[in-house]
Structure 1
């Protein structure tokens, strides 16, 4: 009888171990076409799907590089800049509350570009750079090379063009550099801000529902979307107490990238798939 109990315990333990191994091997259940999770300090790869060196359109994740170039120039953040028709989107036809003639500080423009992914704000920041937008785009590509982004190319500061491309490994380098700037961390993770436009006060909200939800801490983030890039997300979040960089590219649904980030973090923390009830949260992702 005692021998049978021992055999039964061994069998149960074996089956449980097999089940846990299968659950971990099954992966986090991420539905984005490609993803990469990397320790922000050691750059150790924690999870990966897809070729990390393949250049892909990255849409508005571009604006993290735009922010770095703006800050490198050390132009006054309290200086007022003016939105003009030159800042309007001629590629995708996106809209913005920042109508021509609106004046806002460079700081406000940087904040709404990072937090609300406003394209006119990003274009205006580039146009007010020494030498104008052409010089700004050149500086973007120089900065990318300095960061070791070997598979990247940039042609506009907002991420509207599908010719703005980078690999997931490049985006890890970009996010890591942006994470060193407290201002970028702060602006990219604010829930909302109010800006005075020609039409009056306008409230801008974050394009990332995670910053309005307590289910997952976010230390830095940037969303992106174009038809060519799909829905994308880059962020920094703690995993087992360590800052970790997530890059998720070409998510198939409007809310998928948000749920994918939660799935990936939970899996890295526990080795288990995220329960279905915990995959909800956040109403808008832009």
Structure 2
């Protein structure tokens, strides 16, 4: 009870200052930078404005632009540059045609770089022009510590963001119901327009179905960025958003952080129900 009262006092102090005051760091070894928000208020953070590579969390911005400027039923033709993408991909072929919503699913659920590049080419004509739109949208959102050099999240000297900026980016994307629906999907199947090829997509966010109330958002990994994660969980009207940058045990530690956040929030019908035991597996996942 005493611990809970102390945690509640910390939460009220952070909320009363609108996140402007110094925020406590109860998880100093879990990530190079992180941020935890409850009901939109930052309650815990570590280096929230430190510029770091964000890997495939970049695709949140890509999705925002595509959803703002395109229609879900548009048909996208896979370009040669998109088909030649590296890293995480599903194996798109030059000239194949997809509904735009299906390529969004491939990008957000399976973190497919080829689908991401195809969407960028479709919207802007080239990835270079798309990147200019990304940086303009970042300025419009007040993301002063974010810069994009590509659409998919490849490591690059001028490609970085912060935990705070990524929280703003995630909340912006989640205002679109299509984005929320896709990032909360554990499995999806997409097909080419001519139905000659089908692809089974499995969400790389291992928190889905394992931690109560988790409904997204995005994972990321590159050699320089390390393992990254934006996670959203909701229980009985209480909303927790978590951003982790370079977190070696991102899924295991995210469970701990989310549970502690709900422990200080007013209990709902889920109470303080714990999650199932979670085992962190190694491997290069996006």
Q: Per the shorter chain, which TM-score range?
A: 0.7 to 0.9
Q: Which residue of 1 aligns with 2:278?
A: 280
Deviation at 1:127, TM superposition (A): 0.3
Deviation at 1:279, TM superposition (A): 4.3
Contact 2:210 2:276 in 1 (8 A): no
Residue 172 of structure 1 pairs with residue 170 of structure 2: no
CA-to-aligned-CA distance 1:157-177 (integer Å, 9 cap, x gap):
111133321011111110111
Q: Which residue of 2 aligns with 1:56?
A: 52
The alignment's C-alpha RMSD in Å is 3.2
1:1-286 to 2 correspondences below 5 Å: 27=26, 31-41=30-40, 44-49=41-46, 51-73=47-69, 75-88=70-83, 93-162=87-156, 163-196=158-191, 200-211=197-208, 213-238=209-234, 241-252=237-248, 256-270=249-263, 278-280=276-278, 286=286
Distance 2:90 2:124 in 1: 25
Unaligned runs of 5+ in 2: 11-23, 265-271
Contact 1:65 1:140 in 2 (8 A): yes
SS in 1 for 2:178: helix
Distance 2:39 2:128 in 1: 32
Distance 1:110-1:95 versus aligned 2 partners, 3 A rule: closer
SS in 1 for 2:71: coil
Distance 1:17 1:214 in 2: 29
Distance 1:103-1:263 versus aligned 2 partners, 3 A rule: same
Contact 1:35 1:168 in 2 (8 A): yes
Distance 2:88 2:202 in 1: 16
Deviation at 1:281, TM superposition (A): 5.4
Q: Which has the higher contact order (CA 8 A, sep 6+)?
A: 1
For these two proteins, the number of residue pairs brought into alignment is 259
Unaligned runs of 5+ in 1: 1-15
CA-to-aligned-CA distance 1:78-131 (integer Å, 9 cap, x gap):
1221223311456x5544322323221111111111111110111000101144
Contact 1:30 1:263 in 2 (8 A): no
SS in 2 for 1:219: strand
Q: Which residue of 2 aligns with 1:13?
A: none
Distance 1:130-1:47 versus aligned 2 partners, 3 A rule: same
Distance 1:52 1:26 in 2: 10
Contact 1:33 1:249 in 2 (8 A): yes
Distance 1:263 1:29 in 2: 13
Contact 1:229 1:249 in 2 (8 A): yes
TM-score by length of 1: 0.79
